[in-house]
Structure 1
């Protein structure tokens, strides 16, 4: 992990297209501004992990549905 120190209104560039700016510091909480292309999805980590979990569950359900359909059609032969 890269650790960088930034002051209020200072930025960090990620590649050529993503800029993180420290907008406010209040105790242990900071506000970050993020400039990125519209095609880049940006989520808080807990939301990102929830999306990944839901996608994983959806694939399992879809796989089970396909297996059930396959069994159904095999029994009709």
Structure 2
């Protein structure tokens, strides 16, 4: 891990197109501005962990849920006409 000291208004450049700017330092809180292309996903770590956990829970279907889904997609008998 690289650890840098920066003052308000100073920046850190990552790669060619990501810029972190120290916007404000107050008590034990640092506010950062992040300039990055729209193709780069930027999330707080706790948000990312919560989304990953929710995805894991959603993908863990029990047998009853699987049976209910199969019943919804089962082909129906249609009378020949």
TM-score range, shorter chain: 0.7 to 0.9
User: Number of matched residues?
Assistant: 68
User: What does 1:12-31 correspond to in 2, within 5 Å?
Assistant: 12-31=12-31
Q: Runs of 4 or more off by more than 3 Å in structure 1?
A: 63-66
Q: TM-score, normalised by structure 2?
A: 0.71
2:44 maps to 44
- Larger-gyration structure (1/2): 2
The answer for unaligned runs of 5 or more in structure 1 is none
Relative to the length of structure 1, the TM-score reads 0.74
Q: Deviation of residue 58 (structure 1)?
A: 2.0
The CA RMSD measured in Å over matched residues stands at: 1.9
Q: Per residue, is there more helix in 1 or in 2?
A: 1
Structure 2 unmatched ranges of 5 or more: 75-81
